[in-house]
Amino acid sequence: MTLSLPFGPEPGAGGPSDEVWSVAELNAAAKAVVDDGFAPMWVRGEVTGFRVYQSGHWYFDLKDDAARVRCTMWKFAAQRCPERPLDGAEVFVFGKPAVWEEKGEFSFCVQRLLLTNRVGQQAQELERIKAALARDGLFDAARKRSLPAFPGTIAVVTSPDGAALRDIVRVARQRWPAVRLLLVPTRVQGADAGAEVTRALQLVNELDCDCCIVGRGGGSKEDLAVFNDEAVCRALARVRVPTISAVGHETDVSLADFVADVRAATPSMAAQLAVPDRMEVAAVVGSLAERLSGGLSRHTRFVGERLARTADRMEAAMGEALSSHRYTLERMAAQLDALSPLRVLERGFAIPVTGEGAVLRGRAAFRAGQRFGLRLADGVVPARVEEEEA
């Protein structure tokens, strides 16, 4: 159905038609032009993005240095092909261009596919870069560094507009809110993306950070090609902190994945690898606290038991020592008591002493009329010298 607009060109003016087409009419007309305008033909190109659906149909892109086209090979045609082409293989395909009316997509419907047993130019270049990097030791496991357990700052080299950055920020904030993320913005696809990513990685060496995440979200092999760039890979190897490569989806593999210290299947996984989980850390700390408390309790009880046993042994030893000393003292006291002058006095002897208590030890100490005392066992008896004997 077509409509006529009142503001179209004047009839006979020779301008474009003023009829308005529906999308369906436009796509149908384009399909008719393509179907009628092209005969079956041979096309040569390099296979990329090859995939087989459960239905048995093959889908891939055919490209050269200047352009690419989507290709479809239905199951009945694919079954006649002796082997499946690999990405990077150069092939000849026979078929016709087609337009899918519902989506208005242009593609090439392949009826036959012939392998040339040659690798396309881009695949050859990829193998050359891979061999050069391997030769220089950039893939060696010995140069891989461990990620820090508790990073304070992480540099993120990616597009500021891509979903990869949002995923990294979301996961990092959930797992470890204290982490600081520094975005080093760069384009991650396009003609100049390789030079931009290289400069961004060089800038990371001037930042105060603990590790670096570099990558992007999913896309075609051409979209991810910047991470196969030799300059990018060498700049990544020169980053002074541990690096995580997070390029595309889990099935996407780039040379940057082999150069980085750690490969993450997705940007979200990169954030999980870069920061610890606060819940797991809290659980570990709690477990350690319980173990420490239990250990201290057991150690305190053990020490108390040892002190109690030591006290018992000390008490017994002191008792034995006191008993031995008491026996010695009692024996010495008995000896001293036997030698005491008091014991002599108890046997009937007396000791002459002066009024001051001095002992009169010889006859010469006595004078006629001298008063003195006789010390007996039960006291002192006064006495006087009557006269001196010749």
Distances (CA, A) of 172 to 154, 164, 204, 267: 10, 12, 19, 11
pLDDT higher than 60, residue 6: no
Q: Please, what is the Cα angle at 229 between 198 and 233, to 5 degrees?
A: 60
pLDDT at 144: 94
pLDDT at 1: 43
- Nearest partner of 224 among 246, 243, 204, judged by Cα: 246
pTM for the whole thing? 0.56
- Based on the fold, state whether residues 306 and 250 are members of the same structural domain: no
Among the residue ranges 223-227, 248-252, 271-275, the one predicted with the least confidence is: 248-252
The domain boundary, picked from 225, 243, 276, lies at 276
pLDDT digits (tens, 9 = 90+) for 99-139: 999 999 999 999 999 888 766 677 778 888 999 999 999 99
- Based on the fold, state whether residues 47 and 171 are members of the same structural domain: no
Helices (H) and strands (E) in the chain, counts: 10, 15
Task: Report residue 250's pLDDT band, with 50, 70 and 90 as the boundaries.
Answer: confident
- Based on the fold, state whether residues 248 and 289 are members of the same structural domain: no
Among the residue ranges 20-24, 48-52, 130-134, 385-389, the one predicted with the least confidence is: 385-389
pLDDT at 3: 47
With beta carbons less than 8 A apart as the criterion, state whether 379 and 367 touch: no
In a domain, 2, yes or no: no
pLDDT at 19: 83
pLDDT at 16: 59
In a domain, 312, yes or no: yes
Mean pLDDT for the stretch of residues 39-52:
91
In a domain, 12, yes or no: no
Task: Report residue 75's pLDDT band, with 50, 70 and 90 as the boundaries.
Answer: very high
Stronger pLDDT, 176 or 12, i.e. the higher one: 176
- As a residue count, the chain comes to 390
Tell me how far apart the alpha carbons of residues 89 and 119 are, in angstroms, rounded to a whole number.
5
Among the residue ranges 32-36, 170-174, 366-370, the one predicted with the least confidence is: 366-370
In a domain, 125, yes or no: no
Q: Tell me the two tokens of residue 338.
A: 């036997």
Cβ neighbours for 367, distance < 8 A, ≥ 6 positions apart: 385, 388
Start-to-end CA distance of the chain, whole Å, equals 182
The domain boundary, picked from 227, 245, 276, lies at 276
Mean pLDDT for the stretch of residues 352-365:
78
pLDDT higher than 90, residue 315: no
In a domain, 272, yes or no: yes
Tell me how far apart the alpha carbons of residues 62 and 66 are, in angstroms, rounded to a whole number.
11
- Based on the fold, state whether residues 322 and 300 are members of the same structural domain: yes
- Based on the fold, state whether residues 256 and 178 are members of the same structural domain: yes
With beta carbons less than 8 A apart as the criterion, state whether 179 and 281 touch: no
Task: Report residue 390's pLDDT band, with 50, 70 and 90 as the boundaries.
Answer: low
Distances (CA, A) of 146 to 92, 120, 122, 371: 47, 37, 33, 111
Host domain of residue 324: 278-335
* Amino acid found at 120: G
Q: Please, what is the Cα angle at 129 between 67 and 159, to 5 degrees?
A: 65
In a domain, 222, yes or no: yes
Number of other CB atoms surrounding residue 95 within 10 Å: 21
Task: Report residue 312's pLDDT band, with 50, 70 and 90 as the boundaries.
Answer: confident
- Based on the fold, state whether residues 268 and 357 are members of the same structural domain: no
- Nearest partner of 160 among 141, 182, 143, 142, judged by Cα: 182
pLDDT at 388: 62
- Nearest partner of 231 among 301, 132, 308, 157, judged by Cα: 132
Tell me how far apart the alpha carbons of residues 380 and 273 are, in angstroms, rounded to a whole number.
107
What percentage of the chain carries pLDDT values higher than 70? 90
pLDDT at 108: 96
Tell me how far apart the alpha carbons of residues 390 and 374 are, in angstroms, rounded to a whole number.
23
Among the residue ranges 24-33, 59-68, 221-230, 299-308, the one predicted with the least confidence is: 299-308
- Based on the fold, state whether residues 256 and 326 are members of the same structural domain: no
Mean pLDDT for the stretch of residues 197-223:
91
pLDDT at 2: 44
pLDDT at 12: 47
Mean pLDDT for the stretch of residues 307-325:
80
- Based on the fold, state whether residues 303 and 350 are members of the same structural domain: no
Mean pLDDT for the stretch of residues 65-94:
90
- Tell me what the pLDDT averaged over the chain comes to: 85
Mean pLDDT for the stretch of residues 24-33:
92
pLDDT digits (tens, 9 = 90+) for 139-158: 999 999 999 999 999 999 99
- Domain containing residue 173: CATH number: 3.40.50.10550
What are the backbone dihedrals phi and psi of residue 265, each rounded to the nearest 5 degrees, phi first? -65, -35
* Amino acid found at 122: Q
Cβ neighbours for 262, distance < 8 A, ≥ 6 positions apart: 144, 147, 242, 243, 244, 245, 273
What are the backbone dihedrals phi and psi of residue 267, each rounded to the nearest 5 degrees, phi first? -60, -35
In a domain, 289, yes or no: yes
Q: Give the start-end residues of each E strand in the chain.
A: 3-4, 19-20, 41-52, 58-63, 68-73, 89-100, 105-119, 153-158, 180-185, 211-216, 243-247, 262-263, 351-353, 371-376, 379-384
Mean pLDDT for the stretch of residues 89-93:
89
The domain boundary, picked from 76, 92, 119, lies at 119
24: left (phi over 0), alpha (psi -120 to 50) or beta: alpha
With beta carbons less than 8 A apart as the criterion, state whether 179 and 277 touch: no
pLDDT at 156: 96
Total tally of structural domains belonging to the chain: 4
Which residues share a beta bridge with 246?
215
- Based on the fold, state whether residues 199 and 288 are members of the same structural domain: no
